[in-house]
Amino acid sequence: MYTHHQITKKLTQITHYSQTSIFLICIFSLFLGACESNLEATKEAKKTNIIFIFTDDHAFQALSAYKHELASYAPTPNLDRIALQGMRFDKCYVTNSICAPSRATVLTGVHSHVNGHRTNNDTFNGSQVTFPKLLQENGYTTALIGKWHLKSEPTGFDHWEILPGQGHYYNPTFIIPGDTLIEPGYVTDIITDKSLDWIKAQRESDKPFMLMLQHKAPHREWEKGPDHLTLYEDVVFPEPANLFDDYSTRGTAAREQDMTIEKTMQLASDLKIWTEESKKSGSYNRTYGRMNEAQKAAWDAVYDPIIADFQKQNLSGDELTSWKFQRYLRDYLAVIRSVDDNVGRVLDYLEDSGLDENTLIVYTSDQGFYLGEHGWFDKRFMYEESYRTPLLMQWKGNISPGSVNDDLVSNLDFAQTFLEIADIPAPIVMQGRSLLPLMTGQTPEDWRQYLYYHYYEFPAVHSVQKHEGITNGRYKLIHFYELDEWEFYDLATDPMEMNNTYSDPANVELITSLKDRFRRLKTQYGVIHPGNM
């Protein structure tokens, strides 16, 4: 094919510079110039790719970009790369701290009472509007790979491969359209392999893409991968100051929950203190029973000595709780190291291929998690450890490297953020706000000052009472409405939420003001339920 210069030279030779020929040359040159400009404009106008990396139950305390005390014991260097090359959000919260409802809010940009997914027992209504559907309708190729956990079949995706329910760590089953298959290996590695294969296939396309890369890890039962079986086994982690919390100023909900390391965390199913008989029983086949012989041998080489040592110690009381805490963190943090290694693989490929130049990379979790605070594991409560979730974003040329944001943001905002980045109008039903101005360092004057929270799953596993609440980032008001019990915290003076001062006369005026704002926020979001203000 001739270049612009070659065609012009050829026409000149043929026409011997006649007036008509010169005119034709000019017209043809303008035409070629316009084509080149259009090609350049098309290239420049290609929309931003989006890679949304989502984990299950990743506590912000266990991500070293957040400078928590655990950072020096269990760093996450690859996740930290996203923060160093982009933005760390320090006040990202969820609307409902439980797995499936959080995922539904991410997809729809609305609270649980609007999208209908209040608890893990609900089934997601795939016919409603979601941000993947809107991206797909506007020229994006979309994919979902990994954990889904919403019971219904995914909609709005050109490609999907999902784990059934919670999925398995070893040799996991995947559901694909019309079939299921078992993949040999460790689930975090496999999800990353599949995701990288899909991303590589998009390089030949002119269409922008959006990938939801969703890990099972670090969900209970925290099964270490083959590359990390010995990791942290020689580390003694610092205990949180309130590991032995007695809930003396808290109400019924905190006292009657069922999520303590002391009583709820199981030696066998959670901490892998198995006998030879239990390895063969149905409940442990979920873990050990899925392994092949080589995987079992590698596992036994690490865990058999741990089991033998534990049996010799014959621990009880606080000593047993402290031992369980160490065992829990060694497993949990090693599972996160596998996530970190695999995120590094994705970042390396994006950099090596140049895709990072036009790709928004997001890392977050479906909620936070307790790492011994209040003596707990799991999530659900509106207290900081489970209410707050990590959020890191990298977008070259748009987010300043190493930036930090401390505005109140929410998983409610993700859908509208992705739509604005793709230049797609958000449906009026969506209840969040685009984070785009915050990402570029411009906090709007009318940015929210309060967040609304609502947890619904009771009676259920872990026995956490239904509650709703409001926070402005410092003051937090929580209503356990079926008990009609209130809690109030000032995080500036009580960051660990140990002292409920709702009944303190000094707080009457402040609490009255918060209740007024609470009512208005519920009206704004259309909340209708038996809660009594």
Residues contacting 433, CB < 8 A, separation 6+:
413, 416, 447, 448
Are both 175 and 67 inside the same structural domain? yes
Question: Which one of 305, 324, 343 terminates a domain?
Answer: 324
Helices (H), 49-142: 77-85, 99-108, 112-115, 131-137
Same-domain status, 395 and 308: no
* Cα–Cα distance for residue pair 66/57, rounded to 1 Å: 16
Rounded Cα distance, 329 and 74, in Å: 10
Question: Is residue 483 situated within a structural domain?
Answer: no
Distance CA 129, CA 345 (A): 32
Q: Which two tokens stand for residue 39?
A: 């090609």
What pLDDT, on the 0 to 100 scale, is given for residue 287?
A: 83
**Separation of alpha carbons 392 and 408, rounded Å:** 14
- Classified as helix, coil or strand, 87 is strand
C-alpha angle with apex 231: 74 to 325, nearest 5 degrees? Answer: 65
Query: Which among 282, 298, 324 is the end of a domain?
Result: 324
Question: How many degrees, rounded to 5, is the angle at CA 191 between CA 188 and CA 196?
Answer: 120
Mean pLDDT by 10 residues, the chain (533 residues): 38 38 38 42 71 98 95 95 98 98 98 98 98 98 98 98 97 97 98 98 94 98 97 98 97 98 95 83 75 96 97 97 98 98 98 97 98 98 98 98 98 98 98 98 98 98 98 98 98 98 98 98 89 56
Distance, in Å, from the CA atom of 363 to the CA atom of 394, rounded to the nearest integer, reads 9
Extract the tokens encoding 304.
């058999």
> Does residue 23 sit in the same domain as residue 54?
no
Residue given tokens 């999902």 in the structure block: 162
Same domain, 259 and 347: no
Same domain, 111 and 259: no
Task: Tell me how many domains the chain contains.
Answer: 3
Q: Can you give the CATH number for the domain in which 418 is found?
A: 3.40.720.10
Q: How far apart are CA 184 and CA 294, in angstroms?
A: 12
Total-model pTM: 0.91
Cα(350)–Cα(385) distance, integer angstroms? 32
Q: Is residue 468 part of a domain?
A: no
Looking at the fold, whether 219 and 79 belong to one and the same domain comes out as: yes
Whether residue 518 is contained in a domain is answered as no
Helices 4-15 and 19-44 meet at what angle, rounded to 10? 170
Q: What is the pLDDT of residue 282?
A: 61
Alpha helices by DSSP H, 373-506: 384-387, 414-421, 436-439
Stretch (H or E) spanning 332: helix 317-353
Identify whether 421 is part of a domain.
yes
User: Contact at 8 Å (CB) between 75 and 236?
Assistant: no
Q: How many Å is the maximal CA-CA distance in the chain?
A: 104
- Tell how strand 475-480 and strand 209-214 pair up: unpaired
In this prediction, residue 278 carries a pLDDT of 75
Q: What pLDDT sits at residue 34?
A: 41
Taking the C-alpha atoms of residue 379 and residue 367, their distance in angstroms, rounded to an integer, is 8
In a domain, 422, yes or no: yes
Residue 99, Cα to own-chain centre: how many angstroms? Answer: 10
**How far is 198 from 387, CA to CA, in rounded Å?**
33
- Of 406, 417, 300, residue with least CA distance to 360: 417
Same domain, residue pair 131 and 211: yes
pLDDT of 280 reads 72
Q: Per the domain annotation, does 241 fall within a domain?
A: no
Q: Among the three residues 415, 436, 457, which one is the final residue of a domain in this structure?
A: 436
In a domain? residue 499: no
Nearest to 415 by CA among 134, 56, 83, 157: 134
Task: Quote the CA–CA distance of 198 and 213 in Å, as a whole number.
Answer: 11
DSSP state of 7: H
**Residue among 419, 491, 502 at smallest CA distance from 108:** 419
Claim to verify: residue 291 and residue 372 sit in the same structural domain: no
> Does one domain contain both 384 and 260?
no
90-121 per-residue burial string, b: 16 or more CB within 10 A, e: under 16:
bebbbbbbbbbbbbbbbbbbbbbbbbebbbbe
Whether residue 304 is found in the same domain as residue 383: no
Assess whether 219 and 345 both reside in one domain: yes
CB 261 within 8 A of CB 328: yes
50 and 360 Cβ atoms separated by less than 8 Å: yes
Domain hosting 264: range is 252-324
The amino acid occupying position 528 is: I
Residues, the chain: 533
Query: Are residue 342 and residue 429 in the same domain, yes or no?
Result: yes
User: Which pLDDT belongs to residue 532?
Assistant: 53
CB under 8 Å to 110, separation ≥6 — which residues? 412, 429, 430, 431, 432
In a domain, residue 511? The reply is no
CA–CA gap between residue 397 and residue 515 (Å, rounded): 42
